[in-house]
Every structure is written in C-alpha cells, then in structure tokens.
Structure 1
Amino acid sequence: MTKFTFRHLKIFPILFVIYSLPGLAKIQEFETTRMKSTAGTGVGSILMDEATILNPAPIAFFNVGSVYLSKGSAENRESNTVVQDSDHLGIIVSDAKGNTAGSFSYQSQSFGNQKRKRLAAALSSPIRKKSAMGVSLRRTTDEVIGGDKNEYLQTVVGITHAVSQEFTIGFVAFDPLKKRADDSLGIFGGQYVYQDFISIMADAGANYYKELGESFLYRGALQFKLMDDFYARAGYFRDMGKEEKGTGAGLGWVQPRLVIEAAIKNTENVSNKNIAKVSETSFSLSYRF
C-alpha cells in the first residue's frame, strides 16, 4: 500500500486551480461580429459572410464576392481580468456571382487551455424564385493543451424563403448526422423589416434528439438604421441545452464595397452562479467585389 505523505498534498492546490477557474469551461461556437451583436440571431436573415457559420442558404440571393476578416477576445468580467490567450480569428472568402454560390472559412479560437480550429465550406443554390437551399461541411479540431485532441466532421443544411421583400424566414439543421449529439440542433428563424428603418429578428429551436424542455433555445434581436450607412443592433438569447443566457450589441458601417462591424456579447451560466460571466468583443472588416 502506498504511503500518504505531505508531498502528496502539493497536488491539491493545482487541482483546485484547474477546477475552480471561472469562465473557462468551454469554447463557444464561433460567431461573426454581426452575429455577436444580435446575440446569435439570424437564421431567417439574408446574410452572406455567415454562410459557413449559420445558415448556408441565403448567400444564393447575393451576386457579389466577399473577403471577410474578424478578430476578437474574451474577458472574465467577475474578476475584471483578461483571460490569457482567449481570442478568435475568422477568415471567410465567398463568391456568389454564379448560379451556385460558395463560401470557405477558417476559424481559430482559444479559450484558457482549450484551442479549436475549423475549416468549413458552403454551397447554395436557388430552388425557386424566392427560395434557396444550402449545405455546409465543416471539419473541426478541438485540443486541450497538454491533453487530448479530437477531430470531427459535421454537416449543416439550411433553407431560406423570401415571403415578401420585407419578410424572410429560414430553417437550419446543424449536425443532422449526429456526429456530436449536443450539436444536433434544428432552428427556425424569421426577419421582418419595417419601412427600411427597423429590422425585427427571432430564432427558436431545439436539439432534435433530446426532449424539448432540455434543449430549447430562443433568440431575438433588433436592428435600427441610424443614417444611410450606420446600423445599431441589440439582441438577447437563452439556451436551455447549454444552460446559458446573454445579450449582444453592436454597430455597423455599411458601404457598397466595405462593411465594418464592432460588437460585444455577454454570456452567463444560469445554473451555476460561480462560473464567471464572459464578455466578448469582436471587430470585423468585409470587402465586397
């Protein structure tokens, strides 16, 4: 039998630090700056740079190319100290000039001792005059520094329909092949634009392999057109599956060829108040050609 000595006590402070670090539980799903400003809302919106991130379908409604770059970081709000090595980088290249629109993205994230890299590609095509369908494929590598590495391949299927010029709806199925059970989500979304001044967005969905009450999520956001080229956004989300809720806000400057976005997003755990609130900031540039 191994004798317990004082030397063994040295491990307890190390274990305590590892298991009590607030706000470092897991890496959040990558979001563009615009998505952070709306707290993730946008399944029913007509978005281009988000084709490999959210709904792959609506990129078919565009007729331009795009190069997108985003950079951001995370902050532990309770201790008011920046979590070291907590940041994200996103590079997205899209081309929607042909009959079939496509997009490719590289995403790199780190959060505490965790790292994630993802390559994703999306294709979308009109299926009717006012409808489009898209599919994206993404390969993800998750790694714990000094620990395990996990690689997996997932698909995302999306549909977008323009009911009218003001009202659009969409549906997206994440990981329908159940490569990772917690990622298998079906989400409906809609967006209504009132007099080209205010946009109302809402999403709702759940994990289709779990009970509704265990995984239901909903999100809502508003966008205001301040001037001809400035937009302000704010959103809220609640995710029962992840036991999280939060808010987002941001500003966008939109020109025919250049789009600049800045956003913040705050997330907190609703079941464990000891887990620190995380505040994310994000900045992006998108050039259209």
Structure 2
Amino acid sequence: MQNTSYLTPEALSTFIRTALAEDVGDGDHSSLASVPADAQNRARLLVKDEGVLAGVELAHLIFREVDPSLRVEQLLADGARVKHGDIVLNVEGRAQSILTAERLVLNCMQRMSGIATHTAYLNTLLAGTKARLLDTRKTTPNFRICEKWAVLIGGGVNHRYGLFDQIILKDNHVDYAGGIREAIEATQAYLKKTGRELPIEVETRSLAEVQEALDTGGIQRIMLDNMAPTLLREAVQLINGRFSTEASGGITEHTIAEVAATGVDFISVGALTHSTKSLDLSLKAY
C-alpha cells in the first residue's frame, strides 16, 4: 500500500493558506472594488482539454478555506478521464469568494491534472511488465504535496517524499564517501548511532558498482542509473532478486517500454513533475 502520510489535513491547510497569502495579500481588490459584497452567484469548472482529472478534493478544501459558506456540487472525481466540454463541478455563493478562490483552484488543478495525465499515459507503456512508475524529488518548491498527490491519482508510485524519509546514496554521495562500500557502511553506522530505521537505496553506474553493492549488502534497493537496456538486463540478472531494482536517468516515453522489458522493478521519471504540460481548465460564471 502506498504511503500517503504527507497528505495530512495540517499539511494541506498550510499549503492552501500560504498560497492564498501569496495571491491575495491584503485583499482581492479587483473583486472588492467591482462586485457588491452581498452578491450571490455561481460558476462551473469546465474542461477544455483531454486527460485525467486531478485536484478535485483539493479544490473543495480551497473553496472551504476561502469561504466556508460556498456550496460545491461535484460532478467528476479525481482520476476521471475527461474531455473538452465536461463539467467538473459547480460552485455557488458569495461572488467575491468565488473570484478570490478561482485562480488558486485552477492553478492547482491544471498542473495536477497534467501530471496525472502524463503518469497515466506512461503507465500504459508498462503493460505486460512488472515495472512500476516512480516519481522523484524534481518538483516545484512548496508545491510538492500537490505534484506527488497527482502522480498517485494518475496511477504512479510515490518515491520518497523528501530527504528525511528514505536514504538514497546518489553518485555524489558515493564519490564523496569514497565508494559504494564506504557510503553504505557509513550509512549503516549512522542509522545505528542515531536509532533510525530508514530504507537504503544506492545508485550504481556500472556492473562493477552493482557487484560492490551486492557484496556489501544491508540495503533495500539498487538504482541502475543511465544504463542502456542491454546493461540494465545484465544488472537485473546479476542482482537476481536479492534487492529490488530501479532504472533511472533520462527515461522518456520513447524508451520506457524497452527499459521495463529488462525486468526492473521500478522506473523513476523526473519528467512526471518537472516537464509536464498543464491541462486546460476554466472557471466560468453562468
């Protein structure tokens, strides 16, 4: 089962309040100036694209934070396949509140839906293999919670949320430590000294490094970085199920199927969160 411990009410509330503070500041003066304070209106969230919807649950929280009296009628849920012309939800209440919430709802949902759409598409390319699609920490600062959530909605798997919940010994860690064995043994000593229990993954760049990781042991996963499919297959055979495997490094929609066919357990794709086109959505009065 996936770890969604980062999706706490407190974390989501903090994100929404910070985002509103950035956008609203000391007031939504456009709405305050032009729309009567007691005006009651409605709007609908329209889809102007095709893909996988994400961020509906978050939209509820945003509307509630802006104005608890707003009434939201949800018509489509997170994970739904949508097309141009679909209506996601209707919102009704104070017009000023609807206008204040509009941009944050759209910014979040458009970005999240784009990520969910890309994730779902790449997942189709893994059909017939055991490989599962992972995200990375290549996220937008202060927006990671939404981007990771969108990957889940799209059918992907969250890798570690941050630096604190898993140890990944990347190439620079290995080089600074003096080698694969030195990095792993230093990490094991650190965990013992500090009383922490964290999974350890180590990045390898060659079969020699894979063998060194196998010989050292005491880890949970071996990352196979920037390896061609032929080399990946050799590495998977060498590991032979002793630890889980993860292919990483510039994997695209054009190469992911071939990578998955090598027998790796996971494939991490940073582009899920750093290079995804947003889905076109709009909030329109009616």
After TM superposition, is the score higher than 0.5?
Answer: no
TM-score with structure 1 setting the length: 0.25
Q: Which protein has the larger Cα radius of gyration, Structure 1 or Structure 2?
A: 2
User: Looking at both structures, which has the greater relative contact order when contacts are Cα pairs under 8 Å and sequence separation is at least 6?
Assistant: 2
Structure with a larger share of its residues in strand: 1
Structure with a larger share of its residues in helix: 2
TM-score with structure 2 setting the length: 0.26
